[in-house]
Amino acid sequence: METFYSKYGGEETISKVVDYFYDLVLADDTVNHFFANTDMEKQRKHQTKFISYALGGPNQYSGQSMAKVHEGMNLQPVHFDAIVSHLRAALTHFGVKESDIEDALTKVESLREDILYK
């Protein structure tokens, strides 16, 4: 089966989507404070991992490992929703088909319970 990731051009496309998404996240006061003590390179890595995951790329995560890395952040639905809305905006901006956007959002949603309130 052709994955979303390969269909839209693999890493090259991912890096463009990441740049766009990164700017949206860091301009948003709802969530940018979580990254206040994270250096720029690490932030970019985070956004890349997030996008790659959503698009079915090589970095796939278990709920357990996601609970662990977000431990101590006490992330709330409002934070998760903000990130999801930026993902939707970034994918829309690059002309991704609505049904493919829905698939990506469903994927991300599957980790919501693992990531929140940790």
Residues that bind ligand HEM (CB under 6 A): 31, 34-35, 38, 42, 45-46, 49-50, 53, 61, 66, 69-70, 75, 79-80, 83, 108, 111, 115
At position 33, the amino acid (one-letter code) is H
Closest CB to ligand HEM among 18 and 31? Answer: 31
Closest CB to ligand HEM among 42 and 93? Answer: 42
Q: How far is the CB of 108 from ligand HEM (least distance, A)?
A: 4
Determine if residue 115 is left, alpha or beta; phi over 0 gives left, psi from -120 to 50 gives alpha, anything else beta: alpha
Per DSSP, 97 falls in state -
Q: How far is the CB of 68 from ligand HEM (least distance, A)?
A: 9
Cβ-Cβ contacts under 8 Å for 98 (sequence gap 6 or more): none
Rounded to 10 degrees, the C-alpha dihedral 39/8/64/20 comes to 30
Q: Please check if 86 is assigned to a binding site.
A: no
Q: Please check if 46 is assigned to a binding site.
A: yes
Q: How far is the CB of 114 from ligand HEM (least distance, A)?
A: 8
* CA dist., res. 45 & res. 22, Å (int): 10
Which residues carry a binding-site annotation for heme?
46, 70
